Amino acid sequence: MYLQTHPKKSKDDTYNYYSIAESYREDGKSKKRIITYLGKLTPEKAQQIRNMLKINVSADTIVTTLDDLLFEDHWHYLDVAFLNHLWDNDWGLSKLFPLPEETSKNRKKDISTSDIAKILTFYRCLDPGSYLNAIDWFKTTACDLIIGIDKAHFNESRIYRELTLIEQQKEKIEQWLYETLKERDNASMRMVFYDLSDSHFEGTKCELACPGQTKSHGFKSKRVVLSLLVNSKGEPFSWDILEDYTADVKTLTGNADQWAQKFKFKKIIMVFDRGMVSDDNLTHLENSKKYLYITALNKNQLSTVEGIETKKFKNFTEKTTEKKILSIGLTKYDGNTYYEDLGVDTDKRRHVLVFSPGLLETHRKARNMFIEKAIGELKREKQSLLEAKKSRQVKPTEKRIDKILNKFKVNQFLSYHLESTILTKNSGSEVQTFDLVYDRKTDAIKKAMLTDGIWMLVTNICETTEPEEYRLGPMELIKAYRDKNRVEEGFKEVKSFLKFQPTFVYSKEHVRAHYTICILSYLLDVSITNKLRENKREGLSSVNKVYRILERCEIGKLGMKGDKSRILKLSTMTDAQKNIMEMFNCKYLGMNSHLKSIGSRGCRTDFKIDVVH
């Protein structure tokens, strides 16, 4: 039965009359009949009658008062369900981990290695922290319903037992990612980006860590060095924590040989930072025949490049006109960048000089700033020497001054010498000390200014490179090196948003497994980032924004006073959430059929599963 409306017009107004009707079939045809006429009703009374009639046609319909309605608990749903969709539907990562029966011969495992890896990966995407806190986070989510596990089996001891198994799958995951990425988009695997970064531990001993200078936190007694290899879309497929690390430049050849053996590629372009450049490294890559490379030289290496004429830049400033820049043989790349292809030298290496007026200004401001800061400290040292209470020795004094110059890296721009002097104290005793005399090295500064604003690409890619699709012009080479920020973005995300440091795990296997979890989290994040780049929509500017939008869609636990049964209800999805589901082809996550299917798994036994949307 249902409430039927009978609109009637009277002049310019329309009045609604109501009746209770029912549908039936006769001779194979659908018909309806009026059971009783009700006449005029207020909108409120009409809705009340509709609600009463629903009781007869839907088992999901209940009648209660607002005072008797209970809202007992709630859990994050859509953000976790969304990541689960990416993990299983987009990447199929679960199949890379062993089944429970493959890792536990003596007893049945209640939760699989893939489930632990999945939960920890989602945790690092959505609310990164220690693995102990992962348990508390898990309890605030509908993970158990989504994945289909008993929440009681996700605990601290299980996490740490499974970390070792997760690490054992690293080689398999890397190989599968390489083959999958190549199959999906072979062009994205022609050029890969390699970089190193570091992290550190506090307090407890870590077997993989050793003392060293970190890039962001100074000297640390427990530093670890991380490597990462990504394709041209920023998608990772190889990573490691390097033991016995000494310098960036010494890591390249060994890793390059391992990648060639592991992935068995015929030829690949590798882009890496200037910190790894040495003649030995470039020669090694050239001799391997499998690698083409694109990198840059340090500023102090520019003078060794054949064909460079720095005197052309003698009178250049940040205000030098475009016409002047083009007149010395440079070609415009973009609004603030110009280049000159210097060709192939006698070592069969090609160099591309790149000049930027903006970079010139940055170089000069930085040099002047460091010189002024060094002079400031030299003035204080000079004053200290001239006010000495005790006699000073030459060697310790020079060591302090050299330390100042090294600190600001201005040894080549400032000179000094010590002049002996004797101070007479009030008591009549003498103090042997020095007067510090320092000065700017004008010629050295002018010489350095000739290369301000310049950076130099070096590559073994030229016009005769085979196969032909690997041949790149100077503009493509510049773009490729600039695109190395893809791997830098990866490290930035792993270390900040995903919080690699602090790790809260300390054994070799657990630290390595933790890094693998971080990389899998980054894989999901970069998948979202690439999709957002392809489908630009207002309000969806970042991965973090997507997560913040989705986390607002939760599952609530509802009931009534005096009734022990409980139901789950999904909060109404917003337009922004629906847009994300549509973009990633996972609208099913909000459909009743899917919600009922995950509820029917029976993983929670404290209430009746009856999911209503």
559-597: per-residue pLDDT in tens?
777 777 777 888 889 999 999 999 999 999 998 888 888
* Predicted confidence (pLDDT) at residue 61 exceeds the cutoff of 70: no
What percentage of residues in the chain have a pLDDT greater than 70? 86
| 323 phi and psi angles, rounded to 5 deg | -60, -40
User: What's the pLDDT score for residue 393?
Assistant: 95
C-alpha–C-alpha distance, residues 165 and 114, integer Å = 10
User: What's the pLDDT score for residue 203?
Assistant: 54
* Predicted confidence (pLDDT) at residue 219 exceeds the cutoff of 80: no
Give the model's confidence band at 498: pLDDT under 50 very low, under 70 low, under 90 confident, else very high.
Answer: very low
Give the model's confidence band at 216: pLDDT under 50 very low, under 70 low, under 90 confident, else very high.
Answer: low
DSSP bridge partners of 340: 353
C-alpha–C-alpha distance, residues 129 and 72, integer Å = 27
364, 454 in Cβ contact below 8 A?
A: no
Q: Give the closest residue to 118 by CA, choosing from 150, 85, 77, 161.
A: 85
C-alpha–C-alpha distance, residues 181 and 185, integer Å = 6
Contacts of 211 (CB under 8 A, 6+ apart): 219, 220, 221, 222, 223
More reliable by pLDDT, 209 or 226: 226
CA 10 to chain centre: 66
Task: Look at the block and give the residue holding tokens 């536990």.
Answer: 104
User: What's the pLDDT score for residue 607?
Assistant: 42
C-alpha–C-alpha distance, residues 208 and 192, integer Å = 27
Token digits of residue 439: 């000065």
More reliable by pLDDT, 91 or 537: 91
The secondary structure element, H or E, covering residue 322 is helix 322-327
pLDDT tens digits, 83-92: 999 999 999 9
* Three-class secondary structure of residue 423 per DSSP: strand
Give the model's confidence band at 358: pLDDT under 50 very low, under 70 low, under 90 confident, else very high.
Answer: very high
Its sign, for the CA torsion 287, 288, 290, 293, is negative
User: What's the pLDDT score for residue 57?
Assistant: 61
113, 153 in Cβ contact below 8 A?
A: no
Using CA atoms in the order 572, 577, 579, 585, what is the torsion angle rounded to 10 degrees? -100
Question: Which letter does DSSP use for residue 313 in this model?
Answer: G
Q: What is the DSSP string of 435-500?
A: EEEEEE-HHHHHHHHTTTTEEEEEES--TT-SSGGG---HHHHHHHHHTTHHHHHHHHIIIIIS--
- Percentages helix, strand, coil for the chain, rounded to the nearest 5? 45, 25, 30
pLDDT tens digits, 273-317: 988 999 999 999 999 999 999 999 998 899 899 999 999 999 999
More reliable by pLDDT, 19 or 129: 19
Its sign, for the CA torsion 421, 424, 429, 433, is negative
More reliable by pLDDT, 485 or 186: 186
C-alpha–C-alpha distance, residues 134 and 163, integer Å = 14
The secondary structure element, H or E, covering residue 438 is strand 430-440
User: What's the pLDDT score for residue 605?
Assistant: 42
Its sign, for the CA torsion 373, 374, 377, 378, is negative
User: What's the pLDDT score for residue 608?
Assistant: 43
- The maximal CA–CA distance of the chain, rounded, in angstroms, is 131
Mean pLDDT of 337-361: 96
DSSP bridge partners of 75: 555
What percentage of residues in the chain have a pLDDT greater than 90? 56
More reliable by pLDDT, 169 or 21: 169
Amino acid found at 479: K
Token digits of residue 404: 């100042």
pLDDT tens digits, 367-390: 999 999 999 999 999 999 999 999
C-alpha–C-alpha distance, residues 270 and 294, integer Å = 6
* Predicted confidence (pLDDT) at residue 68 exceeds the cutoff of 50: yes
* Predicted confidence (pLDDT) at residue 611 exceeds the cutoff of 60: no
* Predicted confidence (pLDDT) at residue 502 exceeds the cutoff of 50: no
Mean pLDDT of 194-221: 68
DSSP bridge partners of 343: 351
Mean pLDDT of 403-417: 96
C-alpha–C-alpha distance, residues 2 and 51, integer Å = 10
Other beta carbons within 10 Å of 417:
12
* Predicted confidence (pLDDT) at residue 600 exceeds the cutoff of 90: no
For 14-130, where are the alpha helices, taking DSSP H only? 43-57, 78-85, 100-103, 113-126
297, 274 in Cβ contact below 8 A?
A: yes
343, 350 in Cβ contact below 8 A?
A: yes
Q: Across all residues in the chain, what is the average pLDDT?
A: 87
* Predicted confidence (pLDDT) at residue 164 exceeds the cutoff of 80: yes
When mean pLDDT is compared across 4-13, 157-166, 231-240, 309-318, the lowest value belongs to 4-13
C-alpha–C-alpha distance, residues 252 and 194, integer Å = 9
Token digits of residue 440: 């700017």
* Predicted confidence (pLDDT) at residue 205 exceeds the cutoff of 70: no
C-alpha–C-alpha distance, residues 417 and 65, integer Å = 91
User: What's the pLDDT score for residue 602?
Assistant: 46
When mean pLDDT is compared across 89-103, 240-254, 260-274, 302-316, the lowest value belongs to 240-254
User: What's the pLDDT score for residue 610?
Assistant: 47
More reliable by pLDDT, 207 or 100: 100
User: What's the pLDDT score for residue 461?
Assistant: 96
User: What's the pLDDT score for residue 63?
Assistant: 64
